[in-house]
Structure 1
Amino acid sequence: MLAFGVDRVTLAEIARRADVSRPTIYRRFPDTDSILAALLTQRITEALDDVPRRGVGRKPLVRRIIGLAQRVRDDDVVMSVLHQAPGLAMFYLSERLGTSQQLLLDTVAAEIAAAQGEGSVRPGEPRELAAMTMLITQSTILSAQVVAPILPAERLATELAHALNGYLAP
């Protein structure tokens, strides 16, 4: 994908590079988009694992989200799919929650509920707050390149932290 671009990835090329037959690939994946979706899920899950929870409360939660956003923005595979396969990206950004989005929602909702319990996050349904937090963060990730001349990476992270802290504060 990185070598040829997302739109030129074929099941035949994936099978060749994986040194397996095309029927082997077809037994697990019906098409290239499903392979890309599985790859995105794997990369985002790995990013979440790479940015562990460091305590309970709004500040550790926001730090984790900022770290995760940075990790995703630095992931060449994720960003290639987002920028080179806009149809696939838009499907998961506007029509359907994907597996990785569900995982992120569940994780953030649980952390929001814990932070509410200790008083650093405002009242509200944790999954609803997590969904809005995800929308804010996704927007930042998707638009970071556009605003890079105005908000370089470190300032973008600072401003995202301000937005999330303000949104979640009691």
Structure 2
Amino acid sequence: MLSISNDESAPIGDRILAAAADCVLAFGVDRVTLAEIARRAGVSRPTVYRRWSDTRSVLAALLTSRVVGVLDDVPNEQVGREPLVERIVSVVARLRRDDVVMSVLRSAPDLAMIYIAERLGTSQQVLLDAVAADIKLAQEEGSVRPGDPRQLAAMCLLISQSTIQSGQIVAPILDADALAVELAHSLNGYLKP
């Protein structure tokens, strides 16, 4: 299968992000360089610089595209607490299986900590907005407890983010299926009226 980073017909931004993903998997975050991203994408460094100011901003865009891509792949087609929880659990499971996301968590804890403990990133804002909108609809439908939808969504984000980051440490106790079941119980219990 041909990598998008080598596909000359792919949009340049997509080729650059695909090349960045290849670099993260090949070298780990700390050893990714803008020059290597450009080389793998088949573009010049100035072409990358026209879109992103540095390697870190390319990596941030890469993570955002991965997270938003997973969210888009798991649409919420029904209103209510149970479909909302199913969507969150599915997104968490897919992100836990995403090699690039997990590589960043493992190989660049300093970068990950910025978005875990210091500030919300773009992808987290997108997730918050999506979950808050679904919570509001589920509240109107009666299956989610009253409360500010954005505050409830923020707590769902914290619970889910912790599952993504730390799920591997409880793998001997909770395999992927059991982890999904317990996450669903946690979220359902939290959101239930």
TM-score normalised by length of structure 1: 0.98
Matches within 5 A, 1:1-170: 1-170=24-193
What CA distance in whole angstroms lies between the structure 2 residues aligned with 1:32 and 1:147?
33
Question: Number of residue pairs matched?
Answer: 170
Which consecutive unaligned segments of at least 5 residues does structure 1 have? Answer: none
What CA distance in whole angstroms lies between the structure 2 residues aligned with 1:167 and 1:90?
25
Q: 1:31: how far off? A: 1.6
**What SS class does the counterpart of residue 78 from structure 2 fall into?**
coil
Q: What amino acid maps onto 2:84 in structure 1?
A: L
Q: What amino acid maps onto 2:138 in structure 1?
A: A
Q: 1:10: how far off? A: 0.4
Which consecutive unaligned segments of at least 5 residues does structure 2 have? Answer: 1-23
- Runs of 4+ off more than 3 Å: none
TM-score normalised by length of structure 2: 0.86
Q: Percent identity?
A: 71
What CA distance in whole angstroms lies between the structure 2 residues aligned with 1:107 and 1:115?
12
- Deviation by residue 1:117-146 (Cα, 9 ceiling, x = unmatched): 011000000000000000000001100111
